[in-house]
Structure 1
Amino acid sequence: LETKTAPGVVTFEHGSLGSRYRIEATDDCGLTHVYQDVLLQDPAAIAGSIADRISVCDGDPVHIKAVKFPGATYSWTLPDGTHSHDQELSFVGTSDKAGKYTVDIQLNTCNATITGTYRVRIAHLSESAGTHTQRTCAGQSAVFAPADPVATVNGQPVDEDELEFQWQYTKTPTDANSWKPIFGATEKSVEYVAAYPGTYYLRRTTILGDCVAVGGLCTLTVDPGITVTMSAAERRVVIDHKNPFLLTAGLITGPAARTYVWQRSLDGKTWTDIGTDVSYTETQRLAPVVYYRRIIRSGTCETKGEPITVIFKRRYPAMVNPQLRQRVDQHW
């Protein structure tokens, strides 16, 4: 494209922006060849491409590196108004470091200044560190609702909609790889049902962008459940006499240490405590139909038995045939 001969520096006027050129320098003997590739760029176009958004978590290292130009000088303006003249800025991300970072790059090859802009977003996320314990029995639910996590971006609180929650569980909390997500447990609180006795450990993780915080340990102790099997004859009882009668409420399996409460109701809605034995002997007749049920408790476990419907048959007085009575009277 262009050839020049000179003992020192050579200036080429030929070139168009965006094109790449190769400059070849050769000594007078033609023995030494030096190559240099050159890309012609407009400083204004370069400045337009020097922009970035950086998001980090509170406490993470931050590195902002301006484009390197040989011999260029750099002048940074930080969010707090201070200045730096390094090509690269390095600091620990904290909320007071968030904001706009502007760098002016003074090129030494031409009379031009390139300006770049970097915006730094600092997210702070901390979970509730408190521990929680509950006790329940197999098949019954337990609710854990720790305090809300603290979440800010650039020092300002964020909406809860920006947070993601995921509850996890394990039986070996010291094994970091044993934690598994609980399917569907993506709210601030969790209602957990353990099907089998044992000790379960739960925790909540909160996510804000790339930041993850892990909450305190929730311990759930699950006792064996109580199972009651009732027969049809126990669920519906017909009484046609005036004597006291015995009510039973099924076969019980589960913990041996348990207590009982018998209840009675005239409408099946409002219940009154009437006994504390495994069975109940009734001596009263309060209505044509009366309902009974037995509640069994063992530790934190409680099982309400199915309602027992007791039907009292109406008893009529013995009737004497009038003609028979008349014959008897005449006989006397």
Structure 2
Amino acid sequence: VDPQPTTPNAGADEILCNVTSFTLKGNTPTVGAGIWTEVSTFGATFTDATLPNAQANNLLPGNTYTFRWTITASANCAPKTDEVSITINPATVGGTTDGATTVCAGNSNGQINLTGQIGTILRWERSTDGTNWLPIATTASSISYTNLITTTHYRAVIQSGNCAVEFSTVTIITVNIGAVGANAGADKAICNANSITLAGNNPGTNTGIWTLTSAQTGVSFEDATLFNTKVIGLVGGETYTFLWTISGLPPCPASSDAVVITNLTEITNNSIDVTSTTLCTGQTITITGSNPTGGNGTYSYIWQNSIDGNTWTTINGQAGINLNVTVARSLSYRRITNSGNCSATSTALNIIALPPIGNNVISSDQTICVGNTIALITGSQPIGGDAANYTYGWEQSIDNGATWVFVPNATDKDYLPQGITQTTLLRRLVSSGSCTGSLQHASNNIKITVNPNARAVITYTNDTGCFPFVLNATNVKATIFTDRNATYNWYADNVAIGTGTNFPGYTIATANTNVTIKLVTTSSFGCLPDETTHVFSTRQTVIPAFTQDKVNGCGPLDVAFRNTSNVTAGITFRWDFGNGTTSNAINPGVIRFLPDPTGEDKEYTITLEATSPCGILTSTSTVLVRANPMSVFSPNRTSGCAPFTVQFSNTSPGNDNVYFYDFGDGTTLTTREKKTVSHTYQTLAVQDFVVKMIATNECSTSESQYSLRVSPNTITPEMVVNSNQLSGCA
């Protein structure tokens, strides 16, 4: 028996950097001899391929070599091999970056690209001083920058496999600070001026210059390079735009800002007017002002009044184009209009005030029942207004003066009301001259108290119930009208049952019965009584019942059911057929009942449940399902000697079967009882008997059998000789 060659171990896989040879690390064989071969076919050579530590030569960076160490013993044993993987990475080259440029602080964007690198980009780095570098988390071959505010250096970090890390060339983005932000000053409005001093910001070390961009002629600067220079040659009605430009280092753009100087024209068309200058004291009027022109087109107003036309007082809270004022005495009014730096005053308007209307009194209060006649209401002779001409109107209110309604065709000094059906306030309105509309005078109010008739209202929670239906004060209530009702009288089918605001109670004792409850009320003011009725009812009693077309039979048994309950409308029915089947249909149709799988007769109980608002009632019946017979019997023994008596036990399921025994010896037995049957076998020779039991009912027949072996009890010797052989010669 030859020994197996030593199991080879080619050594661990290795990754090297930029080498051309490598000393292999195979194990030394104790049985057999080893040899190295290249599996990867890149053309490597060996100094001595039989040495475990042979040197592999002619290796090229960028390749992964696979070397196999094979140990071979005798020719009868298969050689064994192991392989090792040697990866040669090329040397790292940092590569070259591009994109160096000069930009303006806060307004730059660009891209730096890396080319010529060998190895993997580990990251990018940036520095603001070229010495201290911060990492940038990207491994892309290009990097973008946006809105730099200081000069920044960029480089990439490269590594080829496990070779040394190298840096790319450095790209510098030089950042120049932009020009000082120009501020030409706030826009300004002046009124018809010839010159103005501009107010730009100081440019410091930068340079600045003013220009006119609105293109007017005849305008000049005293020194356009001064931030606070003076401009002359302005004309009223013109809007001037001056641009202040500050320039800094390239490539940063210049900064500019414009100021708008609006030279307004003087205000004109400032007049006021009113529809009438003779007015009623207390009258609110609107003095209409014209739409002015000139200024900046936006106007503010001041209104003033004067007793003598010389001394003027400003009216607080009045700053509109028109003046709304309540006349209290004779006064003069004027309007001052301002727009930008411009102002103008209107001519005065004189207003004469008439005295207010007085002595407007009517009489007097009255109390009636609804539908009764009201007496004439008389009014006094008024004074004030123009003292000569008076106009009358009448108003009424049914909500105690909260709102008033004008009475049509009531224009006389006195008034006879018609058709008032509830308590009402009345008053008279008097107008004269300018004292009209809101300045007319309203008299004192008089009250026509209209007492109401009685009112009867029944409310209820439920007007239908199950007998005995107890009607009580919780269910039936009278609406209480304390403002009109004196008494409350209750009736059931016109029979008095009690008095008072609370329902006295009544019980409807029978099913399917209606009772009319009536409430009669009387007036606390002696006015007309009132009555109302409502019908309360009891529900009809539900008696669940049903019929079925079969009560028993052989299974599976289909039975048709029909609901014969006295009421079906509004009733919820639930059938339970005792076989796991239920139904909520009024008539469930045909239901199948299965026989008992054990062979026993099975009785199912059917329940019909009727649910109404008055409760749940049930009706039941049964269905008997006869099972197919199953012949099950057993002998107490199956072999023996004659006379051989056997006890047969009948364990067949079911209770109403006929059992027929065939004992196999020509003897039979028919019985309805399941008691044990005894039979004795006689035989003169060993004999097999087949015993059968047949179970029969109206559904089917079932048969089972046993084989019995019976032997004779004794063997009687007997010899018989033919007569012609009883004697003979020797």
TM, length-normalised to structure 2: 0.27
> Which of 10, 13, 29 in structure 2 is aligned with 1:52?
13
Distance 1:237 1:125, change over 3 A: farther
SS in 2 for 1:80: coil
The answer as to whether partners of 1:289 and 1:310 remain within 8 angstroms in 2 is: yes
- The aligned residue for residue 28 of structure 2 is 69
Identity level (%): 13
- The aligned residue for residue 27 of structure 1 is none
Paired residues, what number?
248
Deviation at 1:73, TM superposition (A): 3.0
Deviation at 1:116, TM superposition (A): 0.4
Structure with the largest fraction of helix: 1
The answer as to whether partners of 2:210 and 2:244 remain within 8 angstroms in 1 is: yes
Deviation at 1:201, TM superposition (A): 3.8
| 1:55-76 Cα distance to aligned partner (Å, 9 max, x none) | x55x357746332215743323
Distance 1:185 1:83, change over 3 A: closer
- The aligned residue for residue 296 of structure 1 is 247
- The aligned residue for residue 155 of structure 1 is none
Looking at structure 2, the residues matched to 61 and 276 of structure 1 have their Cα atoms a distance apart, in angstroms, of 77
| 1:86-135 Cα distance to aligned partner (Å, 9 max, x none) | 6343666523xx13423233256986331304152635764443666433
Q: Is it true that 1:80 corresponds to 2:5 in the alignment?
A: no
**Mapping of residues 118-197 of structure 1, within 5 Å:** 118=85, 120=87, 122=89, 126-129=93-96, 133-136=100-103, 141=108, 143=110, 145-151=112-118, 163-169=121-127, 171=129, 173=130, 178-183=131-136, 188-191=142-145, 195=149
> Which of 301, 310, 318 in structure 1 is aligned with 2:260?
310
Deviation at 1:311, TM superposition (A): 5.2
Looking at structure 1, the residues matched to 35 and 116 of structure 2 have their Cα atoms a distance apart, in angstroms, of 41
> Which of 148, 156, 168 in structure 2 is aligned with 1:204?
156
- The aligned residue for residue 215 of structure 1 is 168
Looking at structure 2, the residues matched to 283 and 76 of structure 1 have their Cα atoms a distance apart, in angstroms, of 103
Deviation at 1:246, TM superposition (A): 5.3
> Which of 116, 119, 124 in structure 1 is aligned with 2:83?
116
Looking at structure 1, the residues matched to 43 and 264 of structure 2 have their Cα atoms a distance apart, in angstroms, of 97
Q: Structure 1 counterpart of 2:258, which letter?
A: I
Looking at structure 2, the residues matched to 214 and 121 of structure 1 have their Cα atoms a distance apart, in angstroms, of 21
Distance 1:100 1:92, change over 3 A: closer
Looking at structure 2, the residues matched to 186 and 81 of structure 1 have their Cα atoms a distance apart, in angstroms, of 35
> Which of 62, 66, 69 in structure 2 is aligned with 1:101?
66
Distance 1:243 1:287, change over 3 A: closer
Q: Structure 2 counterpart of 1:312, which letter?
A: T
Looking at structure 2, the residues matched to 282 and 150 of structure 1 have their Cα atoms a distance apart, in angstroms, of 67
Q: Structure 2 counterpart of 1:167, which letter?
A: E
Looking at structure 1, the residues matched to 20 and 126 of structure 2 have their Cα atoms a distance apart, in angstroms, of 29
Looking at structure 1, the residues matched to 69 and 202 of structure 2 have their Cα atoms a distance apart, in angstroms, of 85
Structure 2 residue runs without a partner (length 5+): 215-222, 272-730
Looking at structure 2, the residues matched to 182 and 247 of structure 1 have their Cα atoms a distance apart, in angstroms, of 51
Distance 1:170 1:195, change over 3 A: closer
Distance 1:150 1:112, change over 3 A: same
Q: Structure 2 counterpart of 1:120, which letter?
A: T
SS in 1 for 2:185: helix
Looking at structure 2, the residues matched to 89 and 118 of structure 1 have their Cα atoms a distance apart, in angstroms, of 12
Deviation at 1:226, TM superposition (A): 4.1
| 1:24-43 Cα distance to aligned partner (Å, 9 max, x none) | xxxxxxxxxxxxxxxx9983
Looking at structure 1, the residues matched to 58 and 210 of structure 2 have their Cα atoms a distance apart, in angstroms, of 70
Looking at structure 2, the residues matched to 184 and 261 of structure 1 have their Cα atoms a distance apart, in angstroms, of 46
Distance 1:218 1:99, change over 3 A: same
Deviation at 1:310, TM superposition (A): 1.5
Deviation at 1:249, TM superposition (A): 3.4
Distance 1:213 1:93, change over 3 A: farther
Distance 1:292 1:229, change over 3 A: closer
Q: Is it true that 1:249 corresponds to 2:200 in the alignment?
A: yes
Deviation at 1:234, TM superposition (A): 0.8
Looking at structure 1, the residues matched to 70 and 45 of structure 2 have their Cα atoms a distance apart, in angstroms, of 13
Distance 1:180 1:276, change over 3 A: farther
Looking at structure 2, the residues matched to 181 and 66 of structure 1 have their Cα atoms a distance apart, in angstroms, of 43
Higher relative contact order (CA 8 A, sep 6+): 1
| 1:219-277 Cα distance to aligned partner (Å, 9 max, x none) | 344445544484xx814333544646554432334xx3x454768889xxxxxxxx984
Q: Structure 2 counterpart of 1:68, which letter?
A: N
SS in 1 for 2:85: strand
Deviation at 1:215, TM superposition (A): 1.6
Deviation at 1:290, TM superposition (A): 5.1
Looking at structure 2, the residues matched to 241 and 224 of structure 1 have their Cα atoms a distance apart, in angstroms, of 42
The answer as to whether partners of 2:182 and 2:246 remain within 8 angstroms in 1 is: no
- The aligned residue for residue 21 of structure 1 is none
Looking at structure 2, the residues matched to 261 and 123 of structure 1 have their Cα atoms a distance apart, in angstroms, of 62
SS in 1 for 2:41: coil
The answer as to whether partners of 1:245 and 1:283 remain within 8 angstroms in 2 is: no
Looking at structure 2, the residues matched to 309 and 53 of structure 1 have their Cα atoms a distance apart, in angstroms, of 76
The answer as to whether partners of 1:203 and 1:214 remain within 8 angstroms in 2 is: yes
TM, length-normalised to structure 1: 0.52
Looking at structure 1, the residues matched to 191 and 6 of structure 2 have their Cα atoms a distance apart, in angstroms, of 107
The answer as to whether partners of 1:167 and 1:185 remain within 8 angstroms in 2 is: no
| 1:145-178 Cα distance to aligned partner (Å, 9 max, x none) | 13435457xxxxxxxxx7443123253x5xxxx3
State which structure, 1 or 2, has the greater radius of gyration over its C-alpha atoms.
Answer: 2
